Amino acid sequence: MVKVNPNSQPNVEFVSNVESYLYQQLMRLNGQHIAVQTTRSTLQGILTMLTPDHIVLDVSGTPFFIRNQQIVWVTQAL
């Protein structure tokens, strides 16, 4: 018989696809003013944070959290 601790937390794995080329390009653009085309619209702002599954774009002081799967293209804005 196996004893189970009722207070134990289940093991949860987080799985995310990482687009290595996109991630490398975003690392190069971190801290710069960029334009991001998403599946919904185009946003322009400062790339303030980069994680393997999303970016944070500061648009006029408002942070936008954009999942990498929603990014169509990204470029440096002038």
CATH of the domain at 25: 2.30.30.100
Count the neighbouring beta carbons within 10 Å of the beta carbon of residue 47: 22
Residue 6 domain flag:
no
Residue 70's pLDDT band (boundaries 50, 70, 90)? Answer: very high
pTM score, two decimals? 0.76
Asked if residue 14 belongs to a domain, the reply is no
Residue 4 lies in a domain: no
pLDDT at 8: 73
Digit-coded pLDDT (tens) for 26-55: 999 999 999 999 999 999 999 999 998 999
**pLDDT of 30:** 97
Q: Quick check: is 62 in a domain?
A: yes
- Please check the confidence at residue 6 and state whether its pLDDT lies above 80: no
Give the Cβ contact number of residue 69 at 10 Å: 12
SS3 of 47, please? Answer: strand
10 within some domain:
no
